[in-house]
Amino acid sequence: MGKTIEIRVGTFDNNFSIDCPTLHDNLISFGKMPILYVTMVYHVFASRSRMASKSDDITLVMGRTFTDHDLHHIPDMNVDRIYMDYNATTPLEPEVVQAVSDALRDAWGNPSSNYVAGATAKSIISQSRQSVARMVGGKSEDIVFTSGGTEANNLVLHTALEHFKKSCRAAEQSEGPTNGCPGLPHIVTTNVEHDSIKLTAEHFLADGKADVTFVPVSKVTARVDVEDIIAAIRPNTCLISVMLANNETGVIMPVQEICQRVDLLNKQPERLRILLHTDAAQALGKISVEVQELGVDYLTIVGHKFYGPRIGALYVNGPGRRTPLYPMLFGGGQERNFRPGIKLYLEERLQDVFRDRIRFNSHYPGSDVLPNTCNVSILGPALQGWRVLSTCRRLLASVGAACHSASGNRASHILLNCGVPSEVAANAVRLSVGRETARADVDAVVEDLRETVQLLEKTN
Ligand SMILES: Cc1ncc(COP(=O)(O)O)c(C=O)c1O
């Protein structure tokens, strides 16, 4: 414990790396959570050597067939696949596999039980909580483990509604600010959030439970403008939720600036407190994430995006004391980097091969982007992203957010909202490199794409 890990991708020499003193411990500690998800079994197998070569062999490994899975790729078992979908999920670090197995074997007790097996589980959870807190610069008691990012995001939106209700009740009894009451709670978010925010907010809206403003991101920078967020605030606004980095474009949002501005508003005595949330699922492990610096009340953490298992956590700044947190579930009583060199090399190689036929949907003037995310369209009438991916022999990637893969032949609303023209968005492919991506992988993927484009243009 306390080791420093150099987060690097492949063996490319001209590299850039981040010494991340806490990530290593954190993902291992995440692994020590004595919670078993079926999907973890997939990751344990898939990560044994290289996820690329194992992921399509899963039927062989597990001796079963996934008949209901809409495969985008030709199931040629003799081909060595190259994984460039690290924004969808990451393979488990071998040390995590070890820690998970150890915990499953030795810490199987219910952490609330008053005997040794329970105490062992409790102690491991407590260590895990400390490590995850260190990773984001919070305190141990600020970390609430969840089943994943989706639950963490839902918990924040649910809490915002409860916070509004309780604040209004207190106001009726003249105990608090009356601003915004009576009325519906109002939530401000963007039009490029993950579905676990978007669909939940849309559901609240449709059910008449809340008003929601989906502030559009700039079609030039793909970032949300701080002034647009501030302009959307109403007297009944109870939550602002803006993701830290977008899962499709990799664009980093001005969360710190938003928090600073809202902090000033929150100091007005008659104002209903506006809660501040950021979904950092894609940012953690790729850029520095520090809750105090950002100034957020809540921050979503997703283990499987940084080589940990499928488990999530929500950072809450003083849960139940400084920041409200209301449960959604009742009964159980439990729980409360990289080398941008590789991404740049990938973009250079794509540009060399496809020249003026290529559009990068992750390049926006004035916006910083995650160091691993390359969203690209190869222009042409027969080159829709889903078609390209299903014809590629080696590349494993997505057309966008992994949870949209079922609607694969529709252009991503995120890209459309970022100003990407529909015929370009329809051809988009999200290539997200990771720790195991090497320069040779990039060369092979670019060649794969070149052959694919040739084939599709000949046959269509
Ligand atoms: C930005 C973002 N938020 C939330 C999630 C959901 O996380 P989980 O898969 O753990 O529910 C994801 C996963 O793709 C994501 O990219």
* Domain limits for position 71: 25-77+92-138
Atom of ligand 1 nearest to the CA of 151: 11
Same domain, 245 and 297: yes
Query: What's the CA-to-centroid distance between 191 and ligand 1, angstroms?
Result: 16
**Residue 167 within a domain:** yes
Distance 460 CA to ligand 1 centre (A): 36
Residue 10 maps to a domain: no
Q: Are 280 and 174 contained in the same domain? A: yes
Question: DSSP labels for 79-132?
Answer: S--EE-BTTT--PPPHHHHHHHHHHHHH--S-TTSSSHHHHHHHHHHHHHHHHH
Residues 192 and 288 occupy one common structural domain:
yes
Instruction: Kindly state whether residues 196 and 105 are assigned to the same domain.
Output: no
Indicate whether 110 and 166 sit together in one domain.
no
Quick check: 238 and 164 in contact, CB under 8 A? yes
Is 172 found in the same domain as 134?
A: no
Is residue 7 domain-resident?
no
Residues 158 and 304 in one domain: yes
The CATH number given to whatever domain includes residue 386 is: 3.90.1150.10
Q: How far apart are CA 414 and CA 399, in angstroms?
A: 11
Q: Rounded to 5 degrees, what are φ and ψ at 389?
A: -65, -35
CATH assignment of the domain containing 235: 3.40.640.10
Of 284, 316, 348, which residue is a domain's last? 316
- The secondary structure of residue 311, as a DSSP letter, is -
Give alpha helix (H) positions in 173-306: 195-206, 226-232, 255-266, 291-294
Atom 4 (ligand 1) nearest CA: 149
Whether the CB of 150 sits within 6 Å of ligand 1: yes
pLDDT given at position 114: 76
Residue 11 belongs to some domain of the structure: no
- Is 114 found in the same domain as 37? yes
If asked whether residues 166 and 293 sit together in one domain, one would say yes
Flag residues of the chain having pLDDT under 50. Answer: 1-21, 34-68, 336-340
Structural contact between residues 342 and 445, judged by C-beta atoms closer than 8 angstroms: no
From CA 293, how far away is CA 136, in angstroms rounded? 10
In a domain, 423, yes or no: yes
Residues 103 and 155 in one domain: no
Q: Is 62 found in the same domain as 34? A: yes
Per the structure, the count of domains in the chain is 3
CB 399 within 8 A of CB 385: yes
Measured distance CA(226)–CA(241) in Å, rounded:
12
Give the CA diameter of the chain. 74
Same domain flag for 422 and 289? no
1 inside domain: no
> Separation of 111 CA from ligand 1 center, angstroms?
27
Is any ligand 1 atom within 6 A of the Cβ of residue 196? yes
| Residue ID of nearest Cα to ligand 1 atom 16 | 247
Rounded Cα–Cα distance for residues 375 and 360 (Å): 6
Domain boundary among 316, 349, 372: 316
Residues in the chain: 460
390 within some domain: yes
Is the CB–ligand 1 distance for residue 243 below 6 Å? yes
Q: Report the 3 state secondary structure along 430-446.
A: EEECCCCCCHHHHHHHH
Q: How far lies 233's CA from each of 42, 185, 215, 240, in Å? A: 43, 11, 10, 9
Q: Is the CB of 329 under 6 A from ligand 1?
A: no
Residue 359 maps to a domain: yes
Centre of ligand 1 from the C-alpha of residue 7, in Å: 21
C-alpha 338/C-alpha 425 separation (Å) is: 27
